[in-house]
């Protein structure tokens, strides 16, 4: 019995390729996909903050000031605050890109609750910056 060295080398190379190289390539692609998703989510959160800041500042300068000036005591009523919150939420959601909105919906659970909390937090930050 004579060994065909070419066939043996090809068989070993095939075994090595399927046992080592393929799992390494799969792992590399999984890592890359995870990293890309993480970067996309990070950008979505950044965009959400920027849109929230823009909405809050815009409403603060226009709507809130106007309502406070019309009020006898210079304060917003509960109904006014609710209206402004609804308007802020509407502007926030319409200001996000479709990709960011989809990512936030997939990862934040209740997008309305997330957006409401984010808008409140950005309003507090805006007020703290003025103090």
Q: Is residue 110 part of a domain?
A: yes
- Do residues 47 and 97 lie in contact, with contact meaning Cβ atoms separated by under 8 Å? yes
Q: Is residue 115 part of a domain?
A: yes
Buried b (16+ CB within 10 A) or exposed e, 12-41: eeeeeeeeeeeeeeeeeeeeeeeeeeeeeb
Q: Is residue 9 part of a domain?
A: no
pLDDT tens readout for residues 72-94: 776 777 888 898 899 999 999 99
- Banded pLDDT at 1 (limits 50, 70, 90): low
**Domain total of the chain:** 1
Domain region containing 54: 39-130
Q: Is residue 23 part of a domain?
A: no
Q: Is residue 76 part of a domain?
A: yes
Q: Is residue 101 part of a domain?
A: yes
Closest CA to 51 of 80, 89, 85: 89
Whether the pTM exceeds 0.75: the reply is no
Q: Is residue 5 part of a domain?
A: no
């Amino acid at each position: 019995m004579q060994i065909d060295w070419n066939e043996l080398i090809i068989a070993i190379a095939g075994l090595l390729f399927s046992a080592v190289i393929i799992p390494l390539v799969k792992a590399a692609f999984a890592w890359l996909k995870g990293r890309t998703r993480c970067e996309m989510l990070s950008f979505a959160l950044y965009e959400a903050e920027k849109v929230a800041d823009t909405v809050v500042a815009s409403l603060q300068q226009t709507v809130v000031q106007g309502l406070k000036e019309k009020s006898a005591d210079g304060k917003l009523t509960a109904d006014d605050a609710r209206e402004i919150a609804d308007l802020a939420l509407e502007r926030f959601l319409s200001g996000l890109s479709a990709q960011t909105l989809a990512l936030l919906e997939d990862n934040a659970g209740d997008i309305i609750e997330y957006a409401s909390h984010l808008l409140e937090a950005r309003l507090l930050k805006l007020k703290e910056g003025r103090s």
